[in-house]
Amino acid sequence: MTDYSEGIVQIINKVQEIVDSKLSRDEKLAATCNLLKDNVTYYNWIGFYIADNARKELILGPSVGEPTEHSRIAFGEGICGQAAATKKPFVVQDVRKETNYLSCSVKVMSEIVFPIMKNDEVVGELDIDSHVLSPFTEKDSALLGKICAIVADLF
């Protein structure tokens, strides 16, 4: 993105177009992952987790980036599980300083996780890993919060 603010608006508009399309839910989530990967250079792994609230766990949905062994995460476990348990976003600028971090790759230096909420319940999450230390800003939080609000309609 050249102009970050303009780029954010374009990404948000494109996510809305994807959500409004005739694709299946998983195709829409996968297209959103690819859109983010193609437009934000320091987003190295992007994935959606689907909440199973009866079992209190997150199940890996569409993602892009290196494969992860974390296909199921209990609420409270790792950064993703903490976000699900607290219903709040987590921004970790240096994963090496986290005691509850679930390592996906030695390349991952930072992580940002946003719960996807519907009727005050976590229905999923958007998880992003970066190979860069401290890359995430308020603009990332604004972008990802808006994306999660848009894709909540898919759940």
Per DSSP, the residues of 85-105 read HHTS-EEES-GGG-TT---S-
What's the gap between Cα 75 and its chain centre? 15
Architecture of domain 4-154: 2-Layer Sandwich (3.30)
Task: For CA atoms 61, 65, 70, 73, give the dihedral sign.
Answer: negative
What is this structure's pTM? 0.92
User: Does 23 score more than 60 pLDDT?
Assistant: yes
Q: According to the model, what pLDDT value does residue 70 have?
A: 86
Mean pLDDT score across all residues of the chain: 92
What pLDDT was estimated at residue 123? 98
Residue pLDDT, tens place only, 95-123: 888 766 666 667 889 999 999 999 999 99
DSSP state letters, 73-89: EETTSHHHHHHHHHTS-
pLDDT, residue 1, reads 40
Dihedrals phi, psi of 94, to nearest 5 degrees:
-145, 100
For 46-97, the pLDDT digits (tens) are: 999 999 999 999 999 999 999 888 899 999 999 999 999 999 999 999 988 8
**In the chain, pLDDT over 90 holds for what percent of residues?**
83
Domain spans of the chain, in order of start? 4-154
